[in-house]
Structure 1
Amino acid sequence: MNSKLKEVALVFFKLGCFAFGGPAAHIAMMEDEIIEKRKWMTRDYFLDLIGTTNLIPGPNSTEMTMHCGYERAGKVGLFVAGIAFIFPATVITALLAYLYVKYGQLPEVEPFIYGIKPAVLAIIAGAILKLGKKAIKSTELIIIGVLVLVVSLLGVNEVVALLAAGVLGMLYFYIKSKTVSNLNSISPLILFLGFNTTIAKVTTLKLFLIFLKVGAILYGSGYVLFAYLDAELVTRGLMTRAELIDAIAIGQFTPGPVLSTSTFIGYQLSGFTGALVATAGIFLPSFLFVLILNPFIPRMQKSRILRYFLDSVNVAAVAVMLAVLIIMAKDTLVEWQGIIIALIATFLTFKTKVSTIWTIVIGAVLGFVLLSITT
């Protein structure tokens, strides 16, 4: 393995071990590791990757790792980055699945997660500030960002908001420029996999196809994942809803992508082999989507009308991150312990050079200590 591949593997393995808080937090940590520390690419290009990634199915933060790996070390780097990021969550989730199946309950980790949540808020806020400075290039883009923020807070699907912002901005700036360019047409590639699998029993192949289907069409948060898996597994009698809720909870409080839920479910349904095929199935589409999409991004940047589209989507993506921050803050900052941890994390993020990973660790320890002395 050459030096660049080793670097990619180490960076994303480290992120995979500490990336709590969902896609917005994961991307914020990537921005710190890749742009601030290592300068693998410009912040403008990183923004373009975020914008385009938000428009394809699959786990956004995991796909961002693949894009970054591709940029640093080519096609092999794409796979190394994705696997390195997914691996820690998969191993931790598989271990928890084993304990759950054997003992019927989950370990007590809530005090640590309690402290991580407010720390993540400061990390996301720091990334929004830095990315927002690059994304906001005009008054019109500010207006688009504000509109996306409002509709996101009102509950409009983030993909719909991003697409609408991209099209609106593209049309507006094109008309404003009054310049007609010869554009290379890029046909959008949309993949739909429709496996109407009727399950009599859980074979390895059928389990793989279920999770391949979900990975190929999934947009949105863990709640959307819950709905998809509920339809595919609970309604077909493969597991109870209570078991599915426990599986989603595992995905929420382990590091890395929430799709590691698939590892937990796969183990429950078919042991170690089931964990492997479910994990492979749900993540495989993301590797393919990024492999196909990444080479088109430089062409999109060179096209004037698609540049308008990307600029609008980029500012919309920052607005969506801000909406996530506001919603998370509303749910998280309800007790004095959480507020104190958030203030300390904010100081560390904006006034020191402490790594985002250490901010996460400090938040976890503070959560455990503060809850221990008050209960």
Structure 2
Amino acid sequence: MPANSTDIHASEVSLQPQVSPAFPELVSAFARIGLMSFGGPAAQIALMHKICVEEKRWIDEDRYLHALNYCMLLPGPEAQQLATYIGWLLHGVRGGIAAGLLFVAPGLAVILVLSGLYAVYQEASLVTGLFFGLKAAVLAIVVEAVVRIGKRALKSGFHRGLAAAAFIALFLFSLPFPLVVLAAALAGLVHARGTTSAAVEITEEVRARPPLLGQIATLLFWVAVWLAPLPLLWLLLAETALPEIQSFFSKMALVTFGGAYAVLAYVAQVAVDHYAWLKPGEMLDGLALAETTPGPLVLVLSYVGFLAGFRESGTLDPLVGGLLGGLIAAWATFIPSFIWIFAGAPYIERLRGNRLLSAALSAITAAVVGVILNLAVWFALHVIFTEVEPVVLARLGPLTLSLPHPTWSSLDWQALVIAVLSAVMIFRFHLGIGKTLLVAGALGLAARFLL
């Protein structure tokens, strides 16, 4: 996320965009953004700023930052929500739908194709060698995300303490991720109330309240759209994994604060241990796939849905089951973005300059640093070692203090070397994600065929 993504400016700006685009121009621009949106949310947010604020002058800086700050507070992919918000500002509901869908569609199409190839050919030595290198590179990418976000989010002792507390809560006590995020938001609000006497500043220009009944109707409509597939799946395809995919990822959509990195460890645990949809190392392969495609990194959840539908397809053809699983996971994950924007944005537009929102945002962002650090450690252990078991140290009432313990003899030195080389490429030579993954994939192939 940009360094100034948590800043909220209270200066008065026009409610209308500086230049009003025609709807076909909006569609063309967001199709372009969807095809170019590599590199994760930071690059995607920067790309939308360049096109919508600098090049097209559709919205000004203050409005863009206000929309971004609201999206950062929401569960789900903040970049896709920001695209939906901008589209809504420019062309209402149809603009929001067009911008939100076009931001996701190219990456979703690519991830579904790659997931199909992975499901069918993953046992081939060529594919296993390629993903062996990619998953080692992903470790370096996740570490880089910790450093990047940490530099921007941890600007005070309070925020550094939140990050540390979030890491301890997840790594040592395995507390639920939503609980950690909620506690961080509440801590941010309490801290803001205790340190400022002017908690809320709202410009006079945006005090008009949207009609309550209209917003309730909007909320109910989009919730119905979101959940509509579930009863049909239970009635028609109950023998497959598809109903559980819809149910599980609908729950995930409500708690995916911090994007794919933050929620990945929890999804991997449930998908592997509870549902047995994936094998232990396959979530890393999915993240590597998502890193190579445009669109939000949370598209990795469509990869999980594809494998689940492929492996538990019932009477369906496995590839058909996989395709439906990937699409259902995407539906459950991305439709809530439209709910948050269409039902909530009219109220949020009244709150430009609200310091409490800014405080909650910065607190959640700080906690997410600890969440991603936990993910980085989890990745490191499972990439570098082939055997990792949890060891219970103590039981403190309802809490269990435990540590993951690697079997030292299971050290994979080839994975360690590729991970270190990937870190050098990212941190020392500042290579992009695409080039780093390309080199790491080639090294993984070499390791499998030449060593």
**TM-score per shorter chain, which class?**
0.7 to 0.9
Q: Between 254-263 and 80-89, report the one with greater CA deviation.
A: 254-263
Equivalent in 364, 370, 375 of residue 447 of structure 2: 370
**Superposition deviation, residue 111 in structure 1:** 2.0
Q: Quick one: which amino acid aligns to residue 214 of structure 1?
A: F
Distance 1:212 1:144, change over 3 A: same
Contact 2:301 2:329 in 1 (8 A): no
Deviation, 1:87, is 1.5
Output one character per residue of 1:44-89: Cα deviation in whole Å (capped at 9) or x when no partner: 8898478434xx3xxx5xx345235436655212111222222112
- Within the alignment, does 1:111 sit opposite 2:160 as a pair? no
Among 221, 235, 250, the alignment partner of 2:267 is 221
Q: Is the alpha carbon distance of 1:166 and 1:304 closer, same or farther for their aligned partners in structure 2, counting shifts above 3 Å?
A: same
Structure 2: runs of 5 or more not aligned: 1-23, 54-60, 88-94, 256-265, 291-299, 385-410
- Deviation, 1:258, is 3.5
Indicate which of 365, 389, 394 corresponds to 1:314. 365
The reply on whether 1:142 has 2:160 as its aligned counterpart is yes
C-alpha distance in 1, partners of 2:136/2:184?
30
User: Which residue number corresponds to residue 190 of structure 2?
Assistant: 171
2:416 aligned to 339, 344, 347, which one?
A: 339
Whether 1:31 aligns to 2:56 is no
**3-state secondary structure, aligned to 1:156:** coil
290 and 299 in structure 1: CA distance in 2 versus 1, 3 angstrom threshold: farther
From 413, 416, 427, the counterpart of 1:350: 427
Look up the SS of the partner of 1:283 in the other structure: helix
- Identity, % of aligned positions: 17
CA distance in structure 1 between the partners assigned to 2:164 and 2:305 by the alignment: 36
Deviation at 1:143, TM superposition (A): 1.1
Aligned equivalent of 1:52: 73
What is the TM-score of this pair, normalised by structure 1? 0.73
Deviations 1:210-256 (A, max 9, x none): 4332321135322223567x3xxxxxxxxxx6xx446x876652412
What amino acid does structure 2 have at the position aligned with 1:325? A
CA–CA distance in structure 1, aligned partners of residues 47 and 142 of structure 2: 14
* TM score, norm. by length of structure 2: 0.62
Residues of 2 paired with 1:118 and 1:198: CA distance? Answer: 37
Say if 1:279 and 1:116 are closer, same or farther in 2 by CA, change over 3 A: closer
The more displaced of 261-270 and 183-192 is 183-192
Which structure has greater helix proportion? 1
Partner of 1:292: 339
SS of structure 2 residue aligned to 1:260: helix
| Aligned equivalent of 1:237 | none
For 1:147 and 1:314, how far apart are their aligned partners in 2? 13
Q: Between Structure 1 and Structure 2, whose CA radius of gyration is higher?
A: 2
Q: Is the 8 A contact 2:237 2:243 kept in 1?
A: no
Q: What is the CA–CA distance in structure 2 between the aligned matches of 1:128 and 1:47, rounded to whole Å?
A: 20
- 1: CA distance, partners of 2:48 / 2:443: 26
Q: Which residue of 2 aligns with 1:281?
A: 328
Q: CA 1:37 to 1:349, structure 2 compared with 1: closer, same or farther past 3 Å?
A: farther
Instruction: Give, in whole Å, the separation in 1 of the partners of 2:415 and 2:357.
Output: 42
Return the match for 1:330 from 359, 372, 381.
Answer: 381
